[in-house]
Amino acid sequence: MASVFDRIRAGLAKTAQQIRERLGASEPAHAGATPAAPGGRSTNAKVDTVEAVEDALIAADVGLPATQRIVAAMKADGVGTPRERVARVVLNILRDVQPTPAISTLPHVILVVGVNGTGKTTTVGKLANVYRSAGRSVLVCAADTFRAAAVEQLAVWTERAGVDLVRAQSGADPAAVTFDAITAAKARGREIVIVDTAGRLHTRANLMAELDKIRRVVGRVVPGAPHEVLLVLDATVGQNGLVQAREFVAASGANGIVLTKLDGTAKGGVAVAIANDLKLPIRFVGVGEGLDDLVPFDAATYVDALFVDKW
Ligand code: GDP
């Protein structure tokens, strides 16, 4: 199988192509612009200027605040071409986030939150597979009890991943199912518990209250838990997902992001906006619909794929 790095690159293909098209569209248009990259005085010479980079960032959905920060930093940094400078700044932004919590106490409890349709249930299945493949014993909890189809989908995923699933009757109290699941994980000596939470209730306040209740129940059974709250965001939504993301972070205490559907979009720059605006690490990216299509995010590979590779 291709390496994690190659799979991140492949997932970013559309975004990278979009950036490349912006920066390679024509010759520098005005006097004093930074000359093209070495060997670039041909018909398809690259437009490697701060303005062109700014344009490309906006087109890739990096968003205004992050783009402004990047451009200011690029102007202050005189070393190298604009593309080399943007690569450095973006890497700093992606790394200047909350650290990822280590797995120290067991069971390690991960809540997965986000709105329906973002790929949350699929992500729970893939995540179970990631930990299982790394040799961890895993138990998944279907706490999205309002969607019978989601529970069925999760049953298929967990069977394929070869991990336990704790589920309840449709409409059962999600916090009660979560309590049962974590109690079962302790009794069975499972190392990782992944909880699929509801993505929609009648009102937003209800949803947030439910997430809060699940958090409290989890903390009662395993002091210090949940150790991770992963917010699933759909990359194809781009900037528009950020307002909602902010609300979720506030209500759920999310401390990490899973960015799904990276493979289907040219808006992969939203990863930079997330790191810049939410200050949260992107833990994993979804690069396809299969069980193996969730890979750990790597900031250096991301930056290489968008600004350094094959120019
Ligand atoms: P939920 O409603 O948030 O639980 O979303 P689902 O897990 O049911 O996923 C919604 C759709 O997105 C499904 O068709 C998934 O196969 C698809 N999906 C999820 N993650 C990815 C991804 O990383 N890449 C692609 N291409 N599709 C994905």
The 10s digit of each residue's pLDDT in 212-242 is 999 999 999 999 999 999 999 999 999 888 9
Task: Confirm or reject: Cβ of 121 under 6 Å from ligand 1.
Answer: yes
- Distance between Cα 269 and ligand 1 center (Å): 19
The answer to whether residue 39 scores a pLDDT higher than 70 is: no
- Distance between Cα 173 and ligand 1 center (Å): 25
Residue-wise pLDDT for 277-303, tens only, equals: 999 999 999 999 999 999 999 999 999
Q: Which residues contact 59 (CB under 8 A, 6 or more apart)?
A: 18, 19, 22, 266, 269
What is the pLDDT, as a whole number, of residue 126? Answer: 98
**Cβ–Cβ contacts within 10 Å for residue 134, how many?**
9
How far is the C-alpha of 26 from the C-alpha of 98, rounded, in Å? Answer: 39
In the 8-state DSSP scheme, what is residue 34? P
Task: Confirm or reject: Cβ of 290 under 6 Å from ligand 1.
Answer: no
Mutate to test the pocket of ligand 1, among 14, 121, 122, 157 (most ligand atoms within 8 A of CB): 122
Mean pLDDT of 143-170: 92
What is the pLDDT, as a whole number, of residue 252? Answer: 86
What is the pLDDT, as a whole number, of residue 33? Answer: 44
**Cβ–Cβ contacts within 10 Å for residue 30, how many?**
7
Task: Confirm or reject: Cβ of 125 under 6 Å from ligand 1.
Answer: no
Q: Indicate the pairing of strand 108-113 with strand 192-196.
A: parallel
Q: What is the mean pLDDT of the chain?
A: 89
What is the pLDDT, as a whole number, of residue 310? Answer: 66
Atom of ligand 1 nearest to the CA of 153: 8
Between 309 and 81, whose confidence is greater? 81
Atom of ligand 1 nearest to the CA of 264: 26
pLDDT band at 202 (very low <50, low <70, confident <90, very high): low
Q: pTM, whole model, 2 decimals?
A: 0.91
